[in-house]
Amino acid sequence: MSVATLKQAVQPKKDLAAMKPAEKVAHLLESRKDSIAAMLPRHLNAERLLKVAQIAATTTPALLECEIPSLIKAIGDCAQMGLEPNTPLGHAYLIPFGAKNKAGQWIKNVQVTVGYRGLIDLARRSGHIVSIAAHEVREKDTFELEYGLEENLRHVPYLKGERGAVIGYYAVAHLKDGGHAFDFMPNSEVLDIRNASQGYKQAIASAEKYKKTPSHPWVDHEVEMGKKTAVRRLSKYLPLSIELGAAIAVDEMADQGRSGHVDTTIDGELVVVEEENETINPETGEITPAPQQPSTIGEPPALSVATLIKRLNACKDADAAGAVMTDPDVDLLNAEDASKLMAAYRAKFGDA
């Protein structure tokens, strides 16, 4: 690879900072298309996932206010799990939130919340489960539950009118070896989990403050989320695939207000971002309306220049170094960092 080619590779995109957020998302997704495609299971097409992700970003304006690398990583999480986010399928949801990073600064990131249908789909894909389902139990239903040496579960929904309020949820799975497993959760236990969710608490607090209708999966799809909670608990007793295990871990971290991304784990209160011009008080975490400051630089790369240089120095030849220099994150470097990377290349490999 010639120096001229490498120079071209490390030049920051001149129009990246000037791009609108939606254009920037489309550009960065396209630049990572091959990496995302490599993570996908056979049933999911890379072109479709990228299109779904772009639609999600453009139809949910608050997502475009988040750190773009965070959005890209969230979509990568969905790719690894083989779930489409923010579609009528209800597999997964991309939710904007604010939290403190490791430096103590408040930033806006994207959290992945797995839906009921997403967990069901992943469980069926494991190859160990013939079928799995969850249902809500209501006051007028006929419901019998017995644990012990002779377990029994019988549920007959009331069909002659309104079934009444929800009193609980259960999930049941039939295993490939002929066995079965089920678990029941009273509605009080499900509501305890809902009320402990950082995202739900902040959505309610934000709605009360701004006198708006709260927007959160627990508000918009409470029964579906209750079913998901029952499936998630039952799944801990089932043979798990890697994808299902990852989905449960990501979903539990979302409930705790922590990022599901291993390399960007964030501690702190989760804040749902609803307004394009909201800012977050660094002392209290309170969301207050404020004029939005225009961005004058591109989004920071997922990999820092120091990390890229470290990888470069570990390369044994120019061909291996070329792979580092053409990494998509190089496109996001500013002029100063791009020069540092180029200098590091020349120091090790000269002008060859």
Burial class of residue 33, CB neighbours in 10 A (0-12, 13-18, 19+): middle
What integer pLDDT is reported at residue 164 of this predicted model?
97
Cα separation of 148 and 171, whole Å? 17
Q: What interhelical angle do 242-255 and 198-210 show, nearest 10?
A: 40
Query: Could you give the C-alpha distances from 81 to 31, 74, 88, 109, in angstroms and in order?
Result: 20, 11, 17, 19
- Tokens 């608490």 correspond to 201
Name the residue type at position 275.
Answer: E
pTM confidence score: 0.59
Cα separation of 14 and 19, whole Å? 10
**Three-state secondary-structure class, residue 227:** helix
N-term to C-term CA, the chain? 8
* Domains of the chain by residue range: 1-14+301-352, 119-250
**CA nearest 299: which of 10, 5, 28?**
28
What integer pLDDT is reported at residue 47 of this predicted model?
78
Cα separation of 277 and 70, whole Å? 19
What integer pLDDT is reported at residue 100 of this predicted model?
67
What integer pLDDT is reported at residue 335 of this predicted model?
65
What integer pLDDT is reported at residue 192 of this predicted model?
94
What integer pLDDT is reported at residue 256 of this predicted model?
67
Q: Spell out, as residue ranges, where the chain has pLDDT lower than 50.
A: 1-2, 13-14, 261-299
273 close to 64: Cβ distance less than 8 angstroms: no
| Residue 156 phi, psi (nearest 5) | -120, 105
- Tokens 């254009």 correspond to 23
What integer pLDDT is reported at residue 53 of this predicted model?
79
Report pLDDT digits (tens) over 101-121: 677 777 778 888 888 888 888
What integer pLDDT is reported at residue 3 of this predicted model?
52
What integer pLDDT is reported at residue 294 of this predicted model?
43
Could you say which DSSP state residue 60 is in?
A: S
Residue 320: which residues within 8 A CB-CB, separation 6 or more?
Answer: none
**Three-state secondary-structure class, residue 342:** helix
Cα separation of 273 and 292, whole Å? 14
